[in-house]
């Protein structure tokens, strides 16, 4: 079969080799392509204390011989054997486990959906190193390069609350873990190829994932490849979700909770977190770890850490949270006696900031790994189990552990927060003969079907409605599935031919999940002392300004009260004066224009008269010289002179009347003398008016 383009016969859908798989591994989950393949003759290291650094992993392999094979990460695990051994062997003092919230609501989506709850679910200490804005690069998991200097958290303004977000892009990581076959399981119908990350059956073809494990692989090896990268991201402030999915009896609880001699993934996460936090605390970081634990049974939510709703009831009655004694959590078996059959059901609510919240979920803060593991174990013991055809102690509920991480590198430094969500889902199964199992089974199958539908829709990139509300499980996982969290899915399968259909269903679910891409944000909060100072300054400034405004208002009202008449009369006088001045200016302008016009007329008329007179006199002289006085020409010249005289007289009369008119106008303008008294000096219009008077006088002389 062509390794590139494959065809899944039963699914009738082409299955393409995932080209991104290795890139995703190298991008999100660090380089995990096999650096070497080890052979082991007996079970691999059973717990963390037996882990060794990478250099010694080969020795372990040699020591254990070669029955099973597993890949070793190229990068050495943060969870080194020595450190883990120290962590697990260290005699921690009796933990003081306390409820940090007595919370009425626990937030599942958590801080990537922004603000931390109770102001404490903040950040990881790696956050100090990665506040700089990141960019998404392709579809492999990418984030910004961590810089030890603090990034945006320190590079931006030092005032005000800053929120810088790192973005992480990638795909859901999907791994497949087959359970080893028993004698009664029947023949194996699958070929497992861990090196090619492939599961094959001749009927349905090949399925490729990020990781495919040998049946005999250890929980630790599974953890290192599939969960540790998510935990590391959580320590950097991103939310992480890990869930085990598969049919009943396929090894989900075995993987998540572990068994004696096989530390489970949850314990390994807890050790990893505290190992890291202990090292950063030594450098002065302020870290907090708290935990909630809930189960979904028959589509109802229950608090596994406070199954009777004790805190809720106490709070309702007294309004004061009473802390549960540490011993009750430290000794789960003693608690079990108090658990009544009537557990108190929790509610899911919409939350504008966090997506959803679980009302009434208890949250305990744990100072160390042992304390946290005791808390989780106590929750495990409260989980409902029952016998099924494939599993004598089958989990009949979906169990979700929420580990909230908060880190601040130093007081005043930005804080980041994240939540690691670890889910051990109930397994799907065929119809059982028992009524109780049938009821549970139908709820389990219904919720898993809803999860499958949501995954299917998300994988198609469908813009249509995603039915998160179809089940409590999808509702709880909604924030994670809709992009607030990095996700790793561990699909556990049976290899037996008896469970062929269920295994194919699980593999198809896994294939669809593989297509889902996400873009996760990390939120950081800076609430350092500079911010507080700045706020103080602003408050003081605000108070000062408020006082000033009051003073000004008072002054204004006082003025208005004492001199209102004076103010109004002054303004009336002023307004009247302005109006009159404007009138005078306009009048002067008009007079100036008239004078100018008259001047021109006079000049023209005088010229004409001069010319006429000159011509008449010349004619008169010529007649007197050449002609007799009785001559007709002489009489004509006399007549002309007579007419000219009359014309001059008429003109003189016209000029006199016009001059009289102008003099009248001038008398009117004498008003301006009165106004001059209240003005500092003559205005341009007044000067023009005076000029006009002079001109009139000149004209009179003409
Ligand atoms: N990888 C494995 N190696 C050895 N034993 C395993 C492995 N996986 C599962 N088992 C064993 O198979 C049995 C069923 O496993 P487990 O309870 O983990 O199944 P499950 O998927 O959680 O089932 P359910 O959904 O019914 O709870 C257990 O006895 C467990 O020890």
d(CA 647, CA 353): 104
**DSSP H/E element including 92:** none
Task: Report the nearest atom of ligand 1 relative to the CA of 259.
Answer: 31
Task: Report the nearest atom of ligand 1 relative to the CA of 217.
Answer: 1
Q: Please, which residues have CB within 8 angstroms of residue 421's CB and are 6 or more apart in sequence?
A: 108, 239, 240, 241, 242, 243, 400, 401, 402, 403, 477, 480, 485
d(CA 126, CA 237): 7
Q: What is the DSSP string of 97-125?
A: -EES---SEEESS-GGGSSPGGGT----G
CA-closest candidate to residue 7, choices 511, 484, 544: 511
* 42 CA distance to ligand 1 middle (Å): 19
- Strand bridging mode 240-246 / 486-493: parallel
Q: What is the pLDDT of residue 414?
A: 76
Task: Report the nearest atom of ligand 1 relative to the CA of 250.
Answer: 21
Q: pTM for the whole thing?
A: 0.55
The predicted complex's ipTM stands at 0.98
Q: What is the pLDDT of residue 431?
A: 55
- Torsions phi, psi of 606, nearest 5? -65, -40
Query: Measuring from each residue's beta carbon to the nearest atom of ligand 1, which residues come in under 6 Å?
Result: 179-180, 246, 248-254, 259, 388, 391, 394-395, 426-427, 492
Domain 5-402+415-527, CATH 3.40.50.970 — does that match? no
Q: Whose CA is nearest to atom 20 of ligand 1?
A: 249
Q: What is the pLDDT of residue 595?
A: 64
Q: How far is CA 229 from CA 82, 239, 597, in A?
A: 20, 12, 100
d(CA 350, CA 152): 31
Locate 496 and state its tokens.
Answer: 């037996």
What are the extents of the domains in the chain? 5-402+415-527, 584-701
* 78 CA distance to ligand 1 middle (Å): 28
Task: Report the nearest atom of ligand 1 relative to the CA of 425.
Answer: 25
User: 518 and 486 in contact (C-beta within 8 Å)?
Assistant: yes
Q: What is the pLDDT of residue 615?
A: 65
Q: Whose CA is nearest to atom 10 of ligand 1?
A: 251
Q: What is the pLDDT of residue 542?
A: 78
| Structure letter (DSSP) for residue 183 | G
Q: What is the pLDDT of residue 182?
A: 85
Q: How far is CA 556 from CA 550, 551, 641, 691, in A?
A: 10, 9, 81, 47
Locate 584 and state its tokens.
Answer: 């005078």
d(CA 261, CA 250): 18
Q: What is the pLDDT of residue 357?
A: 82
Mean pLDDT of each 10-residue bin along the chain, 702 residues long:
33 32 27 26 32 32 29 32 34 34 44 32 27 32 39 28 61 94 84 93 92 95 95 91 91 92 95 91 83 90 76 35 32 35 72 76 90 91 70 78 88 82 84 65 85 87 82 90 90 91 92 86 60 65 79 69 48 62 68 65 64 63 57 75 81 80 72 54 54 61 57
Beta bridge partners of 177: 492
d(CA 267, CA 265): 6
* 268 CA distance to ligand 1 middle (Å): 18
* 361 CA distance to ligand 1 middle (Å): 28
d(CA 366, CA 401): 14
């Amino acid at each position: 079969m062509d390794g590139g383009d494959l065809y899944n016969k039963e699914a009738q859908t082409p299955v393409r080799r995932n080209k991104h798989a290795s890139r995703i591994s190298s991008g999100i989950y660090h380089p995990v392509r096999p650096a070497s393949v080890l052979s082991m003759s007996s079970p691999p290291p059973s717990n963390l204390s037996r882990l060794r650094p990478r250099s010694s992993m080969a020795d372990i392999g040699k020591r254990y011989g070669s029955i099973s094979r597993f890949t070793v990460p190229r990068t050495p695990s943060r969870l080194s054997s020595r450190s883990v051994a120290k962590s697990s062997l260290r005699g921690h003092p009796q933990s003081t486990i306390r409820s940090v919230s007595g919370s009425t609501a626990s937030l599942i989506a958590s801080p990537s959906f922004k603000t931390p709850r109770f102001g404490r679910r903040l950040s990881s200490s790696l956050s100090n190193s990665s506040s700089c804005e990141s960019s998404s690069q392709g579809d492999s998991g990418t984030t910004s390069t961590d810089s030890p200097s603090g990034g945006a958290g320190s590079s931006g303004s030092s005032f005000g609350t800053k929120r810088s977000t790192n973005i992480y892009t990638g795909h859901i990581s999907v791994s497949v873990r087959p359970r080893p076959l028993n004698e009664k399981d029947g023949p194996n119908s699958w070929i497992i190829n861990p090196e090619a990350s492939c599961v094959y059956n001749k009927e349905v073809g090949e399925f490729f994932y990020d990781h495919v494990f040998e049946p005999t692989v250890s929980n630790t090896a599974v953890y290192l490849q599939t969960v540790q990268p998510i935990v590391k991201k959580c320590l950097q402030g991103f939310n992480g979700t890990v869930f085990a999915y598969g049919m009943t009896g396929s090894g989900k609880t075995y993987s998540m909770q572990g068994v004696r001699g096989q530390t489970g993934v949850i314990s390994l996460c807890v050790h990893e977190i505290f190992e890291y936090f202990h090292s950063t605390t030594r450098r002065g970081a302020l870290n907090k770890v708290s935990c909630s634990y809930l189960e979904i049974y028959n589509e109802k939510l229950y608090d596994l850490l406070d199954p009777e709703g004790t805190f809720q009831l106490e709070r309702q009655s007294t309004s004061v949270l009473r802390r549960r004694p540490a011993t009750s959590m430290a000794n789960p078996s003693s608690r079990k006696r108090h658990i009544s059959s009537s557990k108190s059901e929790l509610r899911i609510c919409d939350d504008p900031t966090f997506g959803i919240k679980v009302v009434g979920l208890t949250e305990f803060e744990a100072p160390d790994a042992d304390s946290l593991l005791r808390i989780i174990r106590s929750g495990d013991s409260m989980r409902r189990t029952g016998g099924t055809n494939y599993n004598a102690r089958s989990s009949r509920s979906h169990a979700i552990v929420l580990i909230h991480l908060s880190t601040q590198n130093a007081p005043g430094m930005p804080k980041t927060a994240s939540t690691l969500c670890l889910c051990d889902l109930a397994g799907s199964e065929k119809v059982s003969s028992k009524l109780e199992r049938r009821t549970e089974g139908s709820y389990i199958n219904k919720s898993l079907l809803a999860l499958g539908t949501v995954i299917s829709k998300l994988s198609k990139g469908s813009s249509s409605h995603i039915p998160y509300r179809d089940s409590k499980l999808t509702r709880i996982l909604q924030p994670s599935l809709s992009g607030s969290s990095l996700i790793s899915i561990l699909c556990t399968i049976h290899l037996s031919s008896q469970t062929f259909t269920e295994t194919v269903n699980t593999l198809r679910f896994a294939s669809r999940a593989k297509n889902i891409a996400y873009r996760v944000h990390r939120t950081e909060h800076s609430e350092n002392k500079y911010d507080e100072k700045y706020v103080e300054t602003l408050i003081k400034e605000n108070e000062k300004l408020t006082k000033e405004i009051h003073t000004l208002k008072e002054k204004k009202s006082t003025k208005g009260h004492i001199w209102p008449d004076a103010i109004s009369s002054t303004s009336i006088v002023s307004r009247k004066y302005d109006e009159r001045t404007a009138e005078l200016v306009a009048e002067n302008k008009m007079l100036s224009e008239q004078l100018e016009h008259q001047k021109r007329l006079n000049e023209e008329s005088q010229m004409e008269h001069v010319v006429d007179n000159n011509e008449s006199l010349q004619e008169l002289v010529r007649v007197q010289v050449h002609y007799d006085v009785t001559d007709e020409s002489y009489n004509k010249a006399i007549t002309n002179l007579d007419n000219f005289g009359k014309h001059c007289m008429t003109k003189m009369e016209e000029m006199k009347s016009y001059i009289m008119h102008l003099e009248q106008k001038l008398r009117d303008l004498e008003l301006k003398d009165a106004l001059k008294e209240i003005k500092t000096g003559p205005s341009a219009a007044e000067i023009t008016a005076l000029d006009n008077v002079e001109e009139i006088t000149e004209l009179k002389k003409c």
